[in-house]
C-alpha cells in the first residue's frame, strides 16, 4: 500500500459522517441504502458551505474576484474528475445533473443519427435510466432495440451478447454494476467485442463509481456516466465522460448561455468542449462538492475499499445460508455491494417497513428495474447495499432485525 495513503479505519471513517451518529426509533442508525445514495462526509459538507460563504458567484463570466475564485474551484473540480477516471483530456468531462441526464445527452444525439436498419443493445438488468432512454431513441428513429439476456443467477449471458452484435449495432449500453443485483459486468471484455463491430459503447457507471478503480482508458468505452451522490458527493450533479473525438461534434443537448460561440438574431454556432454541452448556469456548489468527495475517497487504497465491501457482502451471504426462509436474488460469481433478497411469505414493502422501525434503512421494490423483476418473476426485492462506513456489526444487526421481522410477519 502506498505510504501516502490513509489507513483504512472504519471507526475513523464513520466519525466523519454526521448523519451516522444519530438514532432512529431509539436505536443507532444502520444505513444500508447506499445503492440509492451514499452519505456525505464533513469534507463535502464543508466544501459546499465554503463556496456559498466565501465565493458565491457565477462562473466564467464575472469581472470580479468572487467570480474568479468560483471559476477556479469549479474548473479545478473538472481536473480532479478527469484524473479520478483517467480521462484523456479534461475537456471530456461534461457536468450534468446526474447519470440520467448524462445518458439522455447521448441518447438525444444518437437518435438523430440512427436509421431504421440500425440496432442498439442493452441488457435485461438495466435501470430504467439506461433502458427507457434507448427505447425512446429507437422509437424516434425506427431503429431496433435488442435485449441481452441474463442467467438465472444474475450474471450477463456473454455468449448471447456476442451473438447479438452485428454490423448493424450502432451503440451498446451496459451497466458497470447492476443496481438491483450487484452483478459486476466484465465491461472491458464486452467493450472490446462491441468495438470490434464498430459500435459506440456507453457504460452506466452509477453503481460502479463508488467502488473505485474506474479507468476509462482501460475500459475502452466511448462514454461513461455517473452521479455525484453515489460517490459521497451531493445530489443534482453528475458526469458524462466521452472521448473528445466523439463529443466534439455530438448534437447539442440544450441551448442557451455558455455553450455558444457566436449568436445573431437568426443563427448561432456552438462553442468547443466542454462548453458546447454545458448550457446555462451549472450546479457550481455541487461540482465543488463532488471534487471534495473525490479528494476524500482517494485518500484510501482502492483495493482496501473493495476488500472491505466484499467482506461485508460475503458475511451477509454466509449468514443468509443459515437463515431459514430467505431467498437471495442475484448470486453471480462477481458481484459487489448489493445484497438483494426476498423473505419468503412476505412482501418486500412490509419487510422494509418493519426493518425501519428497528433502525435499519434499506430499500424495497423494483429498484427502477421493473423489466428485470418481471424476468425474475418477482414483485420486487428487499435490498441492503454496503459502503465504506458499514461494519460487520451492522450486518449482524440487519439479521437480528430480519429474524424479529420474520416472527412479526408469521
pLDDT digits over 216-254, tens only?
A: 999 999 999 999 999 999 999 999 999 999 999 999 999
Q: What's residue 305's pLDDT?
A: 96
Q: What's residue 4's pLDDT?
A: 86
CB–CB of 211/177 below 8 Å? yes
Confidence of residue 299 (pLDDT cuts 50, 70, 90): very high
Q: What's residue 211's pLDDT?
A: 87
Q: How many CB atoms lie within 10 A of CB 113?
A: 15
Q: What's residue 2's pLDDT?
A: 47
CB–CB of 174/202 below 8 Å? yes
Q: What is the three-state SS of 54-96?
A: HCCCCCCCCCCHHHHHHHHHHHHHHHHHHHHCCCCCHHHEEEE
Q: What's residue 24's pLDDT?
A: 87
* Angle made by CA atoms 290, 294, 297, in degrees to the nearest 5: 135
Confidence of residue 61 (pLDDT cuts 50, 70, 90): confident
Average confidence score pLDDT of the chain: 97
Q: CA 355, CA 353: separation in Å to the nearest integer?
A: 6
Q: CA 145, CA 114: separation in Å to the nearest integer?
A: 11
* 91, 138, 221, 368: the active-site residue: 368
Cell of 232: 459521497
Q: 23-27, 258-262, 318-322, 346-350: which range is least confident on average?
A: 23-27
φ/ψ (deg, to 5) at 160: -65, -35
What's the rounded mean pLDDT across residues 361-390?
A: 98
Confidence of residue 3 (pLDDT cuts 50, 70, 90): low
- Assess whether 138 carries a catalytic annotation: no
pLDDT above 50: residue 192: yes
Q: What's residue 203's pLDDT?
A: 98
Look at residues 401, 300, 308 and name the one whose alpha carbon lies nearest to residue 358: 401
Q: What is the pLDDT of residues 87-133, one digit of tens each?
A: 999 999 999 999 999 999 999 999 999 999 999 999 999 999 999 99
CB–CB of 100/129 below 8 Å? yes
Q: What's residue 1's pLDDT?
A: 39
pLDDT above 90: residue 261: yes
Amino acid at each position: 500500500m502506498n505510504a501516502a495513503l490513509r489507513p483504512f479505519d472504519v471507526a475513523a471513517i464513520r466519525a466523519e459522517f454526521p448523519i451516522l451518529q444519530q438514532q432512529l426509533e431509539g436505536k443507532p442508525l444502520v444505513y444500508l441504502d447506499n445503492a440509492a445514495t451514499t452519505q456525505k462526509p464533513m469534507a463535502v459538507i464543508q466544501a459546499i458551505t465554503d463556496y456559498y460563504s466565501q465565493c458565491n458567484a457565477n462562473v466564467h463570466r464575472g469581472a470580479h474576484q468572487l467570480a474568479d475564485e468560483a471559476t477556479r474551484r469549479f474548473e479545478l473540480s473538472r481536473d480532479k474528475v478527469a484524473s479520478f477516471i483517467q480521462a484523456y483530456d479534461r475537456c471530456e468531462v461534461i457536468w450534468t445533473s446526474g447519470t440520467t441526464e448524462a445518458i439522455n445527452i447521448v441518447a438525444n444525439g444518437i437518435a438523430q443519427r440512427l436509421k431504421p436498419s440500425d440496432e442498439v443493445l442493452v441488457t435485461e438488468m438495466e435501470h430504467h435510466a439506461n433502458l427507457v432512454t434507448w427505447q425512446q431513441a429507437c422509437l424516434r428513429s425506427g431503429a431496433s432495440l435488442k435485449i441481452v439476456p441474463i442467467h438465472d443467477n444474475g450474471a450477463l449471458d456473454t455468449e448471447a451478447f456476442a451473438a447479438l452484435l452485428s454490423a448493424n449495432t450502432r451503440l451498446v449500453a451496459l451497466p458497470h454494476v447492476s443496481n438491483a443485483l450487484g452483478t459486476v459486468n466484465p465491461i472491458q471484455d464486452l467493450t472490446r467485442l462491441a468495438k470490434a463491430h464498430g459500435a459506440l459503447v456507453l457504460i452506466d457507471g452509477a453503481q460502479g463509481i463508488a467502488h473505485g478503480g474506474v479507468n476509462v482508458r482501460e475500459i475502452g468505452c466511448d462514454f461513461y456516466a455517473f452521479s455525484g451522490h453515489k460517490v459521497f458527493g451531493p445530489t443534482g450533479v453528475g458526469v458524462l465522460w466521452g472521448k473528445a473525438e466523439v463529443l466534439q461534434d455530438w448534437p447539442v443537448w440544450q441551448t442557451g448561455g455558455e455553450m455558444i460561440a457566436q449568436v445573431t438574431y437568426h443563427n448561432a454556432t456552438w462553442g468547443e468542449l466542454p462548453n458546447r454541452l454545458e448550457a446555462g448556469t451549472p450546479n457550481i456548489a455541487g461540482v465543488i462538492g463532488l471534487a471534495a468527495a473525490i479528494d476524500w475517497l482517494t485518500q484510501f487504497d482502492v483495493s482496501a475499499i473493495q476488500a472491505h465491501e466484499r467482506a461485508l457482502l460475503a458475511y451477509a451471504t454466509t449468514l443468509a445460508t443459515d437463515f431459514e426462509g430467505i431467498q437471495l436474488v442475484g448470486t453471480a460469481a462477481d458481484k459487489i455491494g448489493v445484497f438483494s433478497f426476498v423473505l419468503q411469505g412476505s412482501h418486500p414493502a412490509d419487510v422494509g417497513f418493519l426493518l425501519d422501525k428497528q433502525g435499519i434503512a434499506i430499500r424495497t421494490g423494483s429498484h427502477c428495474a421493473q423489466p428485470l423483476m418481471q424476468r425474475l418473476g418477482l414483485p420486487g426485492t428487499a435490498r441492503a447495499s454496503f459502503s465504506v462506513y458499514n461494519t460487520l456489526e451492522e450486518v449482524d444487526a440487519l439479521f437480528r432485525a430480519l429474524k424479529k421481522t420474520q416472527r412479526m410477519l408469521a
